[in-house]
């Protein structure tokens, strides 16, 4: 029997990718040089071309790339992530076919807990330290009770697809998410907070944690694209 685990982090691993700045530049240059399949890497030329594509929002060359991520996150994060459909593909572990593990999300001590203001015009503030202790202890108690009920239903012979209905959205799930650079930048524009962004975004902190880790991989694999994305106020082309 698995032990209860409580996590305040998420897992985002880049498991496969085919994504370079030269892929973008090569796809763009077919417009002017035809099908010669030029593969010469010229970072000086590529930088200017990629910035032009980003600035003037010629987005299709960025689609000739691929990132596949493995993610472990709470169910409520996965459901937010799956709302991003254009350019994304997902496969998630199934509570119908496998017994789920008792791994649950707890907000970290640094996680703000109090919403101040109305929807669309609000901020989050920490709240008193005792509120954090109360929140985490209450959530742990609730998680344990729910998972005990899940196990009891399974032991009674109830099908997994029915027994899982008692589990809360803080239960961890795992999934693969595949996207191209264009769809990834659109995701980052909506799910991260940046003072340099042209359009404000108000993501829930937990999906922002996923986005921040994906952003690190974009910056590493496609530095010219990432620089142009930020230079042009984080608007996906």
Give the residue numbers marked as catalytic: 191
Return the CA Rg of the chain.
21
User: What is the spatial distance between Cα 54 and Cα 124, in angstroms, rounded to a whole number?
Assistant: 33
User: What is the spatial distance between Cα 178 and Cα 65, in angstroms, rounded to a whole number?
Assistant: 10
Cα Dmax for the chain: 68
Please state the three-class secondary structure of 187-212 as a single string. HHHHHCCCCCCCCCCCCCHHHHHHHH
- For the chain, the residue count is 237
Tokens of 233: 């106020």
Question: In terms of C-beta distances under 8 Å and separation of at least 24 residues, what long-range contacts does 146-151 make, across chains too?
Answer: 147/4, 147/102, 147/104, 150/100, 151/1
Decide if 176 contacts 70 (C-beta within 8 A). yes
Alpha helices in 112-180 (DSSP H): 129-155, 160-163
Decide if 17 contacts 177 (C-beta within 8 A). no
């Amino acid at each position: 029997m698995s032990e209860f685990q409580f996590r305040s982090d998420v897992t985002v691993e880049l498991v496969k990718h085919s994504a370079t700045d030269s892929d973008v530049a090569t796809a763009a240059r077919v417009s002017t040089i035809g099908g010669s399949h030029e593969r010469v890497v010229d970072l000086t030329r590529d930088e200017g071309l990629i910035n032009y594509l980003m600035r003037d929002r010629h987005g299709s060359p960025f689609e000739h790339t691929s990132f596949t991520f493995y993610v472990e996150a709470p169910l409520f994060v996965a459901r937010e992530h799956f709302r991003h459909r254009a350019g994304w593909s997902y496969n998630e572990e199934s509570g119908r076919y496998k017994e789920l593990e008792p791994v649950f999300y707890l907000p970290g001590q640094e996680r703000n807990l109090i919403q101040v203001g109305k929807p669309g015009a609000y901020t989050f503030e920490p709240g008193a330290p005792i509120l954090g202790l109360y929140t985490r202890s209450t959530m742990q108690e609730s998680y344990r009770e729910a998972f005990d009920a899940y196990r009891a239903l399974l032991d009674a012979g109830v099908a997994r697809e029915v027994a899982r209905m008692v589990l809360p959205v803080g239960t961890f799930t795992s999934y693969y998410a595949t996207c191209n650079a264009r769809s990834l930048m659109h995701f980052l524009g909506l799910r991260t907070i940046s003072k340099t962004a042209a359009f404000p975004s108000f993501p829930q902190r937990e999906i922002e944690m996923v986005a921040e880790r994906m952003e690190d991989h974009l910056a590493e694999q496609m530095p010219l694209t990432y620089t142009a994305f930020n230079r042009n106020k984080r608007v996906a082309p």
